[in-house]
Amino acid sequence: MKDAMEIGYLVLGELGEYLPPQGSAKLTKAMMMDQIAVLDSYTDEAILELNVMENKNKIAAMKFMSPMVQFSYFANMDLSIIITFHMITLSLTYGICKDSPYAFAAYGAHLCCTYSNVEKGYRFGKLAISLLDSFEGNDKTAKVYATVYGSIIPWREHMKLCTEPVMNGYNIGMRSGDVAQALVNALVWVTYSFEIGKPLAWVNEEMEKYCREMVDSKQNWILLLVLPFRQTVLNLMGKSSNPLKLTGDAMDQDKMLQDASEKNDVFVSCIIYFLRMWLAYIYGDYEEAAKMSSKSKGPPSEKRMALLNPWIAFNHVFYDCLLSIALARKTKRDKWKRLAAKAMERMRQYAVDSPENCQHKIMLMDAENAGLLGDDAKAAEHFDSAIALACENGFVQDQALAYERAGMFYLGRGEKRKASSYYDHAHNSYLKWGAQGKANHVRCRSLTLFMASTV
């Protein structure tokens, strides 16, 4: 990637385009304010009616800057934003070309993920899709689809609405010869299918199929982002020796973490630690979950991880809150209450923009917090609301979790009949999802807790 960036700078210099070698948060913030002001003066119709770019040097510059936006994102996000701004400025000044839709898509993604401006980010994501129509057979379509439906739309619409478009993006990319971007769409397809609660056996088959394509196409950087999710699926299905470790048929966590450390691939490391935190929490090992949560908050900020997958941003906050409440209950320390309150505030912000993806999470967080504070009536109400909303929006895994946590809540208050009913529903919901391993854990754990409560 470093070599690609250096070549890009040399070529851009020859073409008369000069970019700073490094970016900074202060510079990009100032530039973002200027860019917002400029684009606010344009209606969508005005942008769609821009002339076609004819200056060959500018067209060539746009072509080189497009991959540089992606490459620099992994090394210097501020520089990625600056390059994106430059592409938009050229488009507004000289007209649009085949790479202009991606510039607006990348801009929208940064607005949503980096600057928490979902309204404007969503606008430019939709505009990027519309701009594709300006060029019949645009070979950049797969790249635009992956960015818009992978990094923008979930901030406003249900994640399930992204799956069909990214599969279209995959097919378009394969037909046009853009295999790398086709497989980025496949990455979004398989991870979102997992995240919206599709049956795990089917998800595993899809992941295995596209992982083989990634290997055959030598797209290792995409493969490494899928493997932790696939091993998580296998763990939930009961197809691993230790459900808390991402080691099994798909990957070896220790080897992958070592390789990531040697290559300074902090994104892969953080995804592994995040998924291990999630697994540790749902399997009841809160101390291990706390360790993994701390490790998952490495150099890639929540905002940078959100560009890869908004679901990670949503669920990192969600499970940080649930974990903090569990540890506050166990340790009685105010530190965990403060962390839970901070996470709840963050999730409420997410839920304003993306209620279908986040509102049921808020309800479960509120239920756990009410239980911690001793407000049993409110806790019971919120548990049922979380279950109903998760069911309504199709998140069977979150519905199962809400049933399970409600069962624990009622058992802790001596209401064994209610607890048994909720545990049964949790067990059945996990089975519906295909998480046989987790369903078995619920059954064994509930029996252990019931026996302990009779002593």
What pLDDT, in 10s, does the model give residues 403-418? 999 999 999 999 999 9
- Nearest by Cα to 308 from 356, 271, 349: 271
Half-sphere exposure of 44 (CA within 13 A, CB side): 12
Model confidence pLDDT, tens digit, residues 110-126: 999 888 899 999 999 99
Q: How many residues does the chain have?
A: 455
Q: How far is CA 272 from CA 77, 104, 414, in A?
A: 21, 31, 38
| The model's pTM | 0.94
Amino acid identity of residue 350, one-letter, is: Y
pLDDT at 192: 97
- Whether 182 and 174 have beta carbons less than 8 Å apart is answered as yes
Question: Which two three-digit tokens encode residue 15?
Answer: 């073409």
- Whether 291 and 321 have beta carbons less than 8 Å apart is answered as no
User: Which residues in the chain land under pLDDT 70?
Assistant: 1-3, 23, 298-304, 453-455
pLDDT at 2: 59
Task: Check residue 247 and report its DSSP letter.
Answer: B
Mean pLDDT of the chain: 93
pLDDT at 115: 87
pLDDT at 205: 98
pLDDT at 33: 84
Q: What is the CA radius of gyration of the chain?
A: 23
pLDDT at 455: 52
- What's the CA gap between 430 and 396, in Å, rounded? 8
- Whether 230 and 197 have beta carbons less than 8 Å apart is answered as no
pLDDT at 208: 98
- What's the CA gap between 361 and 352, in Å, rounded? 12
Model confidence pLDDT, tens digit, residues 288-340: 999 999 998 765 556 667 777 899 899 999 999 999 999 999 999 999 999 99
Q: Is 300 helix (H, G, I), strand (E, B) or coil?
A: coil
Q: Which residues of 181-211 are buried (b: 16+ CB within 10 A; e: fewer)?
A: bbbbbbbbbbbbbbbbbbebeebbebbbebb
Exposed, middle or buried by CB within 10 Å (0-12, 13-18, 19+), for 255?
Answer: exposed
pLDDT at 80: 87
pLDDT at 445: 85
Residue 19 region, left (φ>0) first, then alpha (ψ -120 to 50), else beta? beta
Amino acid identity of residue 290, one-letter, is: A
Question: Which two three-digit tokens encode residue 432?
Answer: 């519906």
